[in-house]
Structure 1
Amino acid sequence: MSEVERLFTTRFAALMKKAENRPLRFRAEAEAAFAACPRQFRKMAHRLDRTVPMSLEFFMQWRGELLPRLETIQNAPHDSQLAEAFKSALLAENEAQRLEVLDSAVRQRLAQERQTFVNTRYSKGERKMYELALSFVNQPMDVCNEQIERYVVYELYREAAKASGVAVVDANKNWLARWRQTRRVRRQTRRLEKESRQRLAAIDGEMAAIEQLNGGLPARLFGLKIDLVTVLAARQEYEKALARLGKKSASSPAKRLDLYQKKTEAIRAGYLDSVPGLSNLSDVQQALKEIDAVLLAIFDLDSKQRNAMMSAMKQYRQLVREREALAAKIEE
């Protein structure tokens, strides 16, 4: 496990998922992250790198340990109790005197904190690393924070790209490296698009075949946006209610129609509410004919046909998800 993966497990996992599901978008984001992290800073971080602390760990310690202390010291001049203490103890009676004394104390304490932070991590015998670390922490806090975040993002994308095999062009590399990376990106993109489009065409064929089952019943279901499971549940309720009727009532077309309308009332009402432009009764009647034709066709299926339809619809949903995933994969 890389250092950045260990320190930022959740963020790294999210990038790996994006690299798998949206490789072209991942690549675009990675290239932006690479461009935002200058070679000079990468070199500095690399030179700070040794077993303890690693450069990333050093940066995280700066953010987690030193930064809060620096901010506390930086805000000291706004502490009214401290200002009052300076006034009474040092006889700094006017505002200008107090600010001058406080400003001097703040600068001194900031320098001490930065020096102590570096001293506890690098010895003066490690002259180059020591000087690099001191040079880094002596920058303004916001500059350090921004540099760290850019470097973290760069490292996350770099490791994720390497682990996932997604080719990326690094704008901060030399021209030869960029040329090689560009060639690899083009090959990878062409292969991805070719394979994805071939599979998309196959999926479209499989979906079209499913839509035409039982005289095009699935296509009509999709067209009316009706859920098969809901209809089958209503049919089951209809069968139960029909079984509770007496023999004479169960054989009555009027009774059976009334029972059908009761058990499908919610489905039919929901469908009518979803259809725009039903301005008069004839429009409503036409819409009811459309949905009744589909509902009755499902009600008339025998058990074998129902099972086959359920299996086909499950496969169809899987194909839809696969199609959406493939379409997203080749979307930048």
Structure 2
Amino acid sequence: MSNVETEPVEMRCGELVGDPQSPEAPRVEVLSPREVPLGGPRAMSVRRTLPQRARTLIGAWCFADHYGPDDVSRTGGMEVPPHPHTGLQTVSWLFSGEVEHRDSLGSHAFIRPGELNLMTGGYGIAHSEVSTPRTEVLHGVQLWVALPAEHRDAGRDFQHHVPEPVRIDGAEIRVFLGALAGDVSPVRTFTRLLGAEITLEPGAAVTLAVDSTFEHGLLVDIGHVRVAGTLLRPAELGYVPAGLSALSLANPSDGPARTILLGGAPLEEEIVMWWNFIGRTHADIVQARADWEAATDRFGAVEGYPGDRLPAPALPNATILPRGNRPRS
């Protein structure tokens, strides 16, 4: 998915500021989303929890949009024309609906509930995303992973994976990246990551063994969930710093609760992110935008999309300034 804000926030993202293991630091940091429209007056909107001023990275996860349930008959659904990416992997995951994906690698695929589509756009890739005519309700998440410096110019790639559900203590878990609950995803990433959908039955509680070197973020889709003892409401993301070898989740309500668990080793390097580009300097962003506007071979062409590609917004009239995570209090 493209970040189609007309004035996208420019930022340099780095490692966590402060000591997350200090005794005075809260165990869970609750991040609230902001609403971002994706297009014109009838367009759907998304709830964005990453990046924001409070936190810009969880592991290498650098972008999280949560959308729906969206009544496609009212909003028109998703219609994102061909647009570029650099320095990242896009992770698409649906709860309901169907989205058609086309990219400049030549991939033509569909995103369906419980199925992972992961696209790598290191040096440059372009893709389009359109909800299909048979979609009535569109509901899901779009996530980005920053590529580390040594792989920032990785070649174009597209992977599809359908994880089998794992059931433990009233929880149903689908591991789409990394390893959890005895299941391991075969999907390749460039840093150590975790991504999983976890649905909890009413009143269920589960404790999961996790990598203690990982930071974690739990995004609540429906219901209320306690993570490490802190209650999260729908659309909130709870950040848990590295250091825990087990993560406790509990659903205190009489209805089901559904979440997305993200994790990863802290990305101990700085990145600059603007619009759909990730680089290391302001100059990287300027060059990527110029290449896209000039329709160079860097991003290739998306075949089969019946319309024009998405133009890049204007760059800010200043050097893109660094922005990192605030010190924990």
Fold shared per TM-score above 0.5: no
TM-score bracket, normalised by the shorter chain, equals under 0.3
When normalised by structure 1's length, the TM-score is 0.20
When normalised by structure 2's length, the TM-score is 0.20
The structure number with the bigger radius of gyration is 1
Relative to its length, the structure with more strand (as a share) is 2
